[in-house]
Structure 1
Amino acid sequence: MARLTIRLPDELYDRLAADADAAGVPTAAFVRDALEQLNGADPFGFHARFDELHSTVIQVLAILASDVGARAPKSLAKGMEDTRRLLLDRGLIGAGDLPALGEGASS
């Protein structure tokens, strides 16, 4: 069996030892169980909540873009061109990922 040594703040170790004692298992077994449960898991649901928030933001922006496009198509085209440039500058998209935008966009 492999061995792993880690340094923990005293407060964290004391909490682990107390939890292990309450569970009636040695501290090492308690930590092994915790690591096995967390392996590949998202225990706090962070990614699921982030995906939900991301989806909501995309929906809101789509509604806003639709409204702006109906009211001021040139403003929408300019905003889309600015967005495309920012995404390209940050390496979040490649030059071929989005089609070039048409008339009405000025930089």
Structure 2
Amino acid sequence: MNRPLVLSLVAALATGAGAAETPRDAEALKHFVHQDCGSCHGLSLKGGLGPDIRAKALEHYDPEVLREVILGGIPGTAMPPWRPLLTDPEIDWIVDYLMTGEE
């Protein structure tokens, strides 16, 4: 993962922690999911180092569980915690996007 690229993308996305009700740039978040999450989960999100994260593969998960995985990562694995880099509305958008496959 290219940490400076991630940080610059997240900085461009950030609206301030909890400052906004909705993410400012859904297209940038979609790009973030496919590029940054896709670096482990595959660019089409079908799986790679990490598992398939398309809507069909996630349908049995509670959205709150997925949200907590994104926020806190999974210790002992390559899944990083995104809590320091994404706002709550951005994480909510990502969870919805992953769970539905829609923007």
Q: TM-score if structure 1 supplies the norm length?
A: 0.28
- Larger helix proportion, structure 1 or 2? 1
Give the number of the structure whose alpha-carbon radius of gyration is greater.
1
Higher RCO (CA 8 Å, separation ≥ 6 residues): 2
